[in-house]
Amino acid sequence: MEALIPVINKLQDVFNTVGSDSIQLPQIVVLGSQSSGKSSVIESVVGRSFLPRGTGIVTRRPLILQLIHCPLEDREHRSAENGTVNAEEWGRFLHSKKCFTDFNDIRNEIDNETDRVAGSNKGICPEPINLKIFSTRVVNLTLVDLPGITKVPVGDQPEDIEAQIKDLVIKYIENPNSIILAVTAANTDMATSEALKLAKDVDPDGRRTLAVVTKLDLMDAGTDAIDILCGRVIPVKLGIIGVMNRSQQDIMDKKNIDDQMKDEAAFLQRKYPTLATRNGTPYLAKTLNRLLMHHIRDCLPDLKTRVNIMSTQFQSLLNSYGEDVSDKSQTLLHIITKFSSAYCSTIEGTARNIETTELCGGARLCYIFHEIFGRTLDSIHPLAGLTKMDILTAIRNATGPRPALFVPEVSFELLVKRQIRRLEEPSLRCVELIHEEMQRIVQHCGNEVQQEMLRFPKLHEKIVDVVTQLLRCRLPATNVMVENIVAIELAYINTKHPDFHKEAALVPSLLKTDNDPYSQSRRTNTSRNNMSPQVSAHNSVAQNQQQMQQSHQQMHTQQQQQQQQNQQNDTHDQISTTFYGLLLSRNHVGENSTGSWLSNILPPAPNRPDSMENSANNTPVHNNMVSPLKPVNLLPDVPAIANPRRLTDKEQKDCDVIERLIKSYFYIVRKSIQDSVPKAIMHFLVNYVKDNLQSELVTHLYKSEKAETLLNESDHIAVRRKEAADMLKALTRANHIISEIRETHMW
């Protein structure tokens, strides 16, 4: 198991090279309040004084420290080139290839690197410093030293320094593969420990938290840490270990770490004899080594799976970015062909990657044809915008000055053409929707093509321009064809259409009514012809008698009419004299009732033979002279719009016939347009673009002088390809490192 820690160190080096935090490696994170003794604990474990020391915040960047046990006979890490063949201990930073044998130089390098990135104003920076220490006296460990938790900004520190440090600490300790080393000073109350509080927040079960109590020699007189070290105050599952650090005076006096270790052992034997073997810096180092090895063993299977999964993901990502372009003309032609194929496949529905969340491509075209366009046509009522008076007015206008005996066919044609024209606007709108959808398909025609478009933005712009221009040039021809489809229906109203002919054949039966006298006489004659011979003989005798009586009555009536004719001739002159007087009298007496004067000049009704005499007798005469107040030959103005009124039975029947014919023929035309318009759009727009897209792209784009500019990659794609390649290389190396571990190493 001792070999597991170097394996993790190698993995740490691999992923630190690419600067990735995606792989959560097992490590020990040192956590504690400011000036609680974190750095002193690390120095005690290493056995050397190499960390920046002082009052206030000193650790301002995370320090990833890898301790590597390196015996003198080890030839893997020692080399004559670096001068480390016979060296007992040395250090090396990841950002520098130089080997440091003087630990004072290591301290200075940490200070310089911290100031370089974090500045000299006591601010912090989350970017870590990586340091390896090779020694014959250390155990294999990976430690992370974090800035101390503070509450109040000091000097030039920002106001949110507490939040910054807390976020940085949580980022490291929330890694489930890390062991939390919570450092707390013995001369403070354990219940107020910020380190234990944060550790409990991310590790509520305490399965990966180890507590370290420092400054045991600085406790108040009369107090001890037995209850704390035994876990009676705050229990910690992995245990609580007490250590004694060098004081600030010892540091200033440059007290040796070895001397400090001896003093620590003597203090524990004197103060805590029963707990001395389970406390102290040597026991802490061995415990950390053991915990880390077991933790690595538990995390290694998941780590290997994670590395394999990420290798596959980054390989796919690198493939999506494509390889570097060597032959630009060939690459350009390949992209044009791929785009054309993807565009046509998206329309036809034969693309490899079928969308399941929304309609796309040809499915949207079908939806426009049959759902949007079809339902819009179905929602247009055949008689929308037509009233009974409109139809009646059209019938009257079609007959001219003659009253109509039959429904004129011209009125039907005028009205049905007016309704058919209402189908043109939805048809043209359908063309616009298909045009917009064809333009939209450019942005949604395959993931492979989209990656190429992102990789070459200038080529993408030119392809969009060519497709847009091709669609735009086909739009007028498609609109003209759709307009012609409607114009064709308007050009000839085919009343002999098979579906319409049946409806037209019903018109005579609709006009035929029960009140027709001709039909009544026909029915009477028919009923007579169906009588028996006896009844018909009896009826013939009765008819002869009636005819004789009628002849006598006619002779008597003729005599009376002759007498009345003589009387009318006598009064004719008197009527003529009083005619104009009657008009003037009516106009003078009742000017507000101009419409009633016609009743005085119409001939008398047949059932009132004395109306003429009464009219003549009652006509007022103004001294037999015509009044010059108003002209007598003016008629009322003809109204521009017919006044609404109740239609007669004949007018109602005529309107019903026209309405029924309009409905029938409109349905026929609507069905034809609903079928013809999608076909025209497919032929003139969709299929034309599919057939000519590749040739248009080759004509406009495939030129040697344009290939250089069109295939210039965008900057972010080149950067991402390099990052993906580096990460894939690191993952491949990590996979090899993990594969080298044998089962025997894990137990």
409 vs 278, which has greater pLDDT? 278
pLDDT tens by residue, 562-599: 555 544 444 444 434 333 343 334 344 444 433 333 34
Q: How far apart are CA 92 and CA 68, in angstroms?
A: 11
Look at strands 89-93 and 99-100 and give their pairing. Answer: antiparallel
Average pLDDT taken over every residue of the chain:
76
Residue 522 pLDDT: 45
Let me know if residue 516 belongs to a domain: no
Residue 421 pLDDT: 93
Within this chain, do residues 233 and 337 fall inside the same structural domain, yes or no? no
Within this chain, do residues 417 and 506 fall inside the same structural domain, yes or no? yes
Within this chain, do residues 88 and 223 fall inside the same structural domain, yes or no? yes
Within this chain, do residues 478 and 435 fall inside the same structural domain, yes or no? yes
Let me know if residue 19 belongs to a domain: no
CATH code of 171's domain: 3.40.50.300
Taking residues 713-720, what's their average pLDDT?
A: 75
Q: How far apart are CA 103 and CA 656, in angstroms?
A: 110
Residue 375 pLDDT: 93
Residue 285 structural domain = 27-307
Within this chain, do residues 301 and 399 fall inside the same structural domain, yes or no? no
**Backbone dihedral angles phi then psi of residue 130, each to the nearest 5 degrees:** -105, 125
401 vs 698, which has greater pLDDT? 698
Let me know if residue 661 belongs to a domain: yes
Q: How far apart are CA 53 and CA 126, in angstroms?
A: 20
pLDDT band with cut points at 50, 70 and 90 for residue 24: confident
Within this chain, do residues 298 and 360 fall inside the same structural domain, yes or no? no
Residue 77 pLDDT: 75
Which of 276, 307, 338 is the C-terminal boundary of a domain? 307
CATH code of 443's domain: 1.20.120.1240
Share of the chain above pLDDT 70, in %: 74
Share of the chain above pLDDT 90, in %: 15
Let me know if residue 43 belongs to a domain: yes
Within this chain, do residues 265 and 130 fall inside the same structural domain, yes or no? yes
Within this chain, do residues 396 and 298 fall inside the same structural domain, yes or no? no
Within this chain, do residues 342 and 283 fall inside the same structural domain, yes or no? no
Scan for tokens 């070459």, then name that residue.
456
**Residue 371 pLDDT exceeds 70:** yes
Residue 58 pLDDT: 77
Let me know if residue 694 belongs to a domain: yes
Full 3-state SS string of 312-348: HHHHHHHHHHCCCCCCHHHHHHHHHHHHHHHHHHHHH
Taking residues 150-159, what's their average pLDDT?
A: 78
Let me know if residue 723 belongs to a domain: no
**Residue 491 pLDDT exceeds 90:** yes
Within this chain, do residues 235 and 271 fall inside the same structural domain, yes or no? yes
Let me know if residue 544 belongs to a domain: no
Any idea how long the chain is?
A: 747
> Using an 8 Å Cβ cutoff, are 436 and 490 in contact?
no
pLDDT tens by residue, 519-567: 444 444 444 444 444 444 444 444 544 555 555 555 555 555 555 554 4
**Residue 404 pLDDT exceeds 80:** no
pLDDT band with cut points at 50, 70 and 90 for residue 42: confident
Contacts of 657 (CB under 8 A, 6+ apart): 407, 507, 510, 511
Contacts of 511 (CB under 8 A, 6+ apart): 406, 407, 653, 657
Residue 691 pLDDT: 93
Rg (C-alpha) for the chain, rounded Å, is 55
Q: How far apart are CA 70 and CA 286, in angstroms?
A: 16
**Backbone dihedral angles phi then psi of residue 166, each to the nearest 5 degrees:** -65, -45
pLDDT tens by residue, 183-208: 998 888 888 888 889 999 998 888 88
Q: How many other CB atoms are there within 10 angstroms of residue 475's CB atom?
A: 16
pLDDT band with cut points at 50, 70 and 90 for residue 685: very high
Within this chain, do residues 156 and 99 fall inside the same structural domain, yes or no? yes
**Residue 743 pLDDT exceeds 60:** no
- The tally of domains found in the chain comes to 2
Nearest C-alpha neighbor of 146 from the set 159, 121, 129: 129
Partners of residue 213 on adjacent β-strands: 184, 242
Q: CA geometry: angle at 188 spanning 186 and 189, to 5°?
A: 105
Let me know if residue 15 belongs to a domain: no
Q: pTM here?
A: 0.52
- Measure the N-to-C terminal CA separation of the chain; round to a whole number of Å: 6
Within this chain, do residues 186 and 219 fall inside the same structural domain, yes or no? yes
